[in-house]
Amino acid sequence: MYVDCGTLYTGASVVDDGRFTVSDGRVETVGTQESVAGEGERLDLSTEIVAPGFIDAHLHLKGARSMDPMAWVTGTVSEDAARAVADADSLLDAGFTTVRDVGSDVAIGVRNAIDGGEIAGPRVFTSGRSISQTGGHGDMHMFPREWVTDGAGISTLADGADECRRVARERHRDGADLLKIMTTGGVLSEKDDPNEPQFTDEEVTALVEEAHRVGMPVASHAQGSEGIKRALENGVDTIEHGFHVDDETVDLMLETDATFVPTLAIMHRILAEGESHGVPEHGLRKARAASEAHYESVKRAKAAGVEIAAGTDFIGPELIPHGENALELELLVTEADFTPAEAIAAATTTAGRTVPDDVGGLATGNHADFITLGSDPATAIEAVYDVERVYKGGERVR
């Protein structure tokens, strides 16, 4: 099959009168209608704006419908799973053909049902439950301890290098695609702070060694500079949130070829509307305190040439619903000095770096996941919400 496009965003460049060929669900050759020979069936999108399918490099396929952490621990797994299936469908509608889930107890099952062709959804790569130290970001320390150790939380607790190794091995046994760890405190956790480092060097090293031994990348929730540094120095592959990325951590990201996933979208929504959606007071306070530094961090990293991927941290409630994930692309443009083409690259080629598969831009060997947009994002970035057709592996799915 070959696809003729009006304007083609490949994820690396923008091509007028573009063409790419597809074989066995994967992209073969990409160029212009003049330079690439068409073979087999022609898909005529020659009057359309074509882009790679979007990737959300940081979300939670958790089926949450409230911002109140109490609801997350008292909800049932069956309800969460059913709602996560609906969310997967919404993501596909919005042009997201791949997502990286970084903390959920239902995403592995949803992934398997999508892979089996039983339900519709994007390609899902998941960490399963994330891993936190006791009293850390993933420990729900506003609740009784046994709710976390025995309940259906997003995180598993591990303390000491030996336990970290065991829990990392458990994630591999569960069928996780990557590991998600917490090396700082956070916004929605009550008793810690984004600037507090969490896990020792020995613990991070143990987690990373066990993951890398079996080919799993490691993502770290890391907001303050000390915890970002600790993650990078011990081999973590992606830095999530990064409120306080300073010159030293920028250099470390470049040196280690790490990817930075800032998750501007959740912060934006918490600040704009969090109060009326039940975000706890400590969350609102910490989000306000971090906001300015957060945008500065992204601009600093971008100017230095750090690889920055689009990720929303959306979980499913009305404030941060799946289906509105293109907000991250909009914010990269309006708040962080990205051009529309750079924002599309962040949500395709660069986001593809965070998962262990051939996804990302329309480039030779990648899965042929692509979408059409109703107008050109170069004119107005809001075009990224106007997804008309969605193709996954060369097949039309929307």
Q: Which of residues 30 and 88 has its CB atom nearest to Zn ion in the complex?
A: 88
Q: Which of residues 313 and 330 has its CB atom nearest to Zn ion in the complex?
A: 313
Q: Which of residues 11 and 75 has its CB atom nearest to Zn ion in the complex?
A: 75
- Alpha-carbon span 78 to 43, nearest angstrom: 41
Q: Which of residues 181 and 336 has its CB atom nearest to Zn ion in the complex?
A: 181
C-alpha distance from residue 85 to each of 90, 175, 200, 247, 298 (Å): 9, 18, 37, 41, 32
- Alpha-carbon span 310 to 318, nearest angstrom: 20
Q: Which of residues 225 and 312 has its CB atom nearest to Zn ion in the complex?
A: 312
| Cβ 12 to Zn ion shortest distance, Å | 28
Stretch that binds Zn ion, among 109-117, 196-204, 312-320, 351-359 (CB under 5 A): 312-320
- Alpha-carbon span 171 to 386, nearest angstrom: 37
Contact 59, 315 (CB under 8 A): yes
Query: Which residues 249-268 are close enough to bind Zn ion by CB under 5 A?
Result: none
| Cβ 102 to Zn ion shortest distance, Å | 5
Instruction: Phi first, then psi: give them for residue 391, nearest 5 degrees.
Output: -120, 135
Closest CA to 238 of 55, 36, 12: 55
Binding mask 186-215 for Zn ion (x = CB under 5 A): ------------------------------
Binding mask 123-152 for Zn ion (x = CB under 5 A): ------------------------------
| Cβ 47 to Zn ion shortest distance, Å | 39
Q: Which of residues 238 and 249 has its CB atom nearest to Zn ion in the complex?
A: 238
- Alpha-carbon span 117 to 99, nearest angstrom: 17
Q: Which of residues 89 and 313 has its CB atom nearest to Zn ion in the complex?
A: 313
Cα Rg of the chain, angstroms: 20
Q: Which of residues 50 and 131 has its CB atom nearest to Zn ion in the complex?
A: 131
For Zn ion, which residue of 192, 313, 330, 369 counts as binding (CB under 5 A)?
313
| Cβ 230 to Zn ion shortest distance, Å | 19
End-to-end CA distance of the chain: 18
| Cβ 58 to Zn ion shortest distance, Å | 6
Q: Which of residues 61 and 384 has its CB atom nearest to Zn ion in the complex?
A: 61
| Cβ 276 to Zn ion shortest distance, Å | 22
Report if residue 89 touches Zn ion, rule: CB under 5 A: no
Number of helical (H) and strand (E) elements in the chain, helices listed first? 13, 18
- Alpha-carbon span 352 to 306, nearest angstrom: 15
Which amino acid does the sequence have at 253? Answer: M
Closest CA to 296 of 254, 338, 235, 246: 246
Stretch that binds Zn ion, among 26-34, 42-50, 126-134, 309-317 (CB under 5 A): 309-317
List the beta bridge partners of residue 55.
98
| Cβ 158 to Zn ion shortest distance, Å | 18
Q: Would residue 78 be called left, alpha or beta, if left means φ above 0 and alpha means ψ between -120 and 50 degrees?
A: alpha
| Cβ 238 to Zn ion shortest distance, Å | 12
Q: How many binding residues for Zn ion (CB under 5 A)?
A: 1
Q: Give the start-end residues of each E strand in the chain.
A: 2-9, 14-16, 18-23, 26-32, 42-52, 54-59, 96-101, 123-126, 130-132, 155-157, 179-182, 218-222, 238-241, 259-261, 307-308, 370-373, 387-392, 395-396
Q: Which of residues 5 and 347 has its CB atom nearest to Zn ion in the complex?
A: 347
Residue nearest to Zn ion (CB): 313
Give alpha helix (H) positions in 176-319.
201-213, 225-233, 247-256, 264-273, 281-304
Stretch that binds Zn ion, among 115-123, 193-201, 310-318, 329-337 (CB under 5 A): 310-318
| Cβ 38 to Zn ion shortest distance, Å | 43
Q: Which of residues 315 and 387 has its CB atom nearest to Zn ion in the complex?
A: 315
Closest CA to 226 of 203, 199, 202: 199
Stretch that binds Zn ion, among 15-23, 132-140, 180-188, 311-319 (CB under 5 A): 311-319
| Cβ 103 to Zn ion shortest distance, Å | 6
Footprint of Zn ion (CB under 5 A): 313
